[in-house]
Amino acid sequence: MPSDRYAVIGHPVGHSLSPTIHARFAQQTGEDLEYSRIEPAENGFGEAATAFFSEDGRGLNVTVPFKAEARAWCDRVSDRAERAGVVNTLTLQANGWVAGDNTDGIGLVRDLTVNLDIGLAGVRILLIGAGGAARGVLEPLLGETPADILVANRTAARAEELAAEFQADGPVRGCGFDTLDHEPAFDVIINASAASLGGALPPIPAAVIARGAAVYDMMYGPRADPFLDWGRDAGAATVSDGLGMLVEQAAESFLIWRGVRPQTTAVLAALRAEQGE
């Protein structure tokens, strides 16, 4: 019998570590599956996803730039993906429908609280960026009962609108970068902006970093270095890129698909060793 088929779909997707991560999960748990990459043209998501599932594909991870389109395309959406506004996991259901979910938020929270041992209850969090990644993590972050989350974005209005949407979930405000000078320092600073993609640093005053703070970039690999160096130079006690978030969101997808949650510690350590860290 052929192995169950899964894939990551994105554009570009050649760089994706998801096939490596899921191959390790499958080996560890003894699950019989194969996991590949699909890179349709930028307007080709719907056609490629339809073809994959009609040819008996079982599940897809969805990455840039298709996460919002995936939410509109699938037959039903989980509550957390509805709140997140984007879908990163598609699963074929027994009745032939494709269900959409979002595991990015829980992936970030697990990386922070379990892998990095950063307590979020009662702390002040600065979330930089107000795009899909920031939206996807707000509800799970607020679920950890921080004292306060400030969403700061290049376009202030987007941060204010995003914060307003999540007001009922906990203490969250939005602002532009220019007002950060007047804020007391933060315990956890998370870069959810795409600045690191282009090698840029968001223009944030170093005074936002409290003594002993944690600085985190959702970007992983060398492109996270400028932000993490900035955090280290400003006195952060812990700095981390988003590789752990990537592994943890993958483990949550694997759990949805296979009913078993792989252990992530060894997989994350192996990936870091391969990256020469």
Ligand X SMILES: NC(=O)c1ccc[n+]([C@@H]2O[C@H](COP(=O)([O-])OP(=O)(O)OC[C@H]3O[C@@H](n4cnc5c(N)ncnc54)[C@H](OP(=O)(O)O)[C@@H]3O)[C@@H](O)[C@H]2O)c1
Catalog residues that contact ligand X under the rule CB under 6 A: 104, 129-134, 153-155, 158, 192-198, 200, 202, 218-220, 242, 245-246, 249
Shortest separation between residue 209's beta carbon and ligand X, angstroms: 17
Residue 87's closest CA among 107, 64, 62?
Answer: 62
Question: At which residue do the structure tokens 């996803």 appear?
Answer: 49
Q: In the numeric block, which tokens belong to residue 239?
A: 């700095």
| Integer Cα distance of 268 and 118 in angstroms | 17
Shortest separation between residue 190's beta carbon and ligand X, angstroms: 10
| Integer Cα distance of 277 and 269 in angstroms | 9
Q: Which residues are catalytic?
A: 67
Q: Which of 53, 267 has the CB closer to ligand X?
A: 267
Q: Which of 73, 177 has the CB closer to ligand X?
A: 177
Shortest separation between residue 131's beta carbon and ligand X, angstroms: 2
Query: Closest residue (Cβ) to ligand X?
Result: 131
Q: Which of 4, 153 has the CB closer to ligand X?
A: 153
CA atoms within 13 A on the CB side of 194: 8
Residue 173's closest CA among 151, 189, 140?
Answer: 151
Shortest separation between residue 109's beta carbon and ligand X, angstroms: 12
Q: Which of 98, 130 has the CB closer to ligand X?
A: 130
| Integer Cα distance of 193 and 215 in angstroms | 13
